[in-house]
Amino acid sequence: MWRYEKKLEYPININKKDLSLAKSMMAQYGGPDSELGAALRYLNQRYTMPDEKGFALLTDIGTEELAHFEMIATMIQQLMKGATIEELKENGLIGYYTQHKDANFPIDTSGVPFTSAYIEATGDYWADLESDMAAEQRARVTYEKLMNQTKDPDVLGPLSFLRQREVVHYNRFKELRDYYINKFNR
């Protein structure tokens, strides 16, 4: 069971429209290494962890990834707020507008919809943890690339926060993997 605190994990107050960045940010909303993919991956993998410690960690991180998904949704909404049809056309978002108007929909930057194929779960806790560490690194790199696309401090703050959480998640997965190395003499 989850308890939902009705506030974002990090405050987001973007006042400057940036449709190009909003489109790029869709990578973290519905792409293969997105926050949605991470949340679903970890919440599914937790059932094949060999003990409660692994189950609890994947539950914690998977839940936090849902909070990050919410943050990305908020950022996209604020970056696109007030966009005209012409601005959407200029930024390659007219197809998105046609199908979704101003609703969020999990797609990547090319418009490819999120798919369950992005949710990795092998049933082998060792392989899954190694994959999870790599996924956190890919997400970190994506946040760095997003940060390179703006100088807006209202955008950089949340992106920096999210990037740092990827580093923390990577380290937590590594600690769990190392714990299992010692526990199971792997």
Give the Cα separation of 43 and 61 in Å (integer).
Answer: 8
Question: How far is the C-alpha of 28 from the C-alpha of 138, rounded, in Å?
Answer: 11
- List the one residue out of 107, 36, 30, 109 whose CA is nearest residue 69: 36
- Give the model's pLDDT for residue 1: 58
pLDDT at residue 185, as a whole number: 80
Domains of the chain: 19-184 (1.20.1260.10)
Cα 150 → chain centroid: 19
Q: What is the pLDDT along the chain (186 residues), one digit of tens a residue?
A: 578 888 999 999 999 999 999 999 999 999 999 999 999 999 999 999 999 999 999 999 999 999 999 999 999 999 999 999 999 999 999 999 999 998 999 999 999 999 999 998 999 999 999 999 999 999 999 999 999 999 999 999 999 999 999 999 999 999 999 999 999 887
Q: How many CB atoms lie within 10 A of CB 186?
A: 9
pTM, to two decimals? 0.94
**Residue 6 has what pLDDT?**
85
Can you tell me the distance from the alpha carbon of 15 to that of 96, in angstroms, rounded to the nearest whole number? 22
| Residue (of 31, 35, 62) closest to 128 by Cα position | 62
What's residue 127's pLDDT? Answer: 95
pLDDT at 47: 97
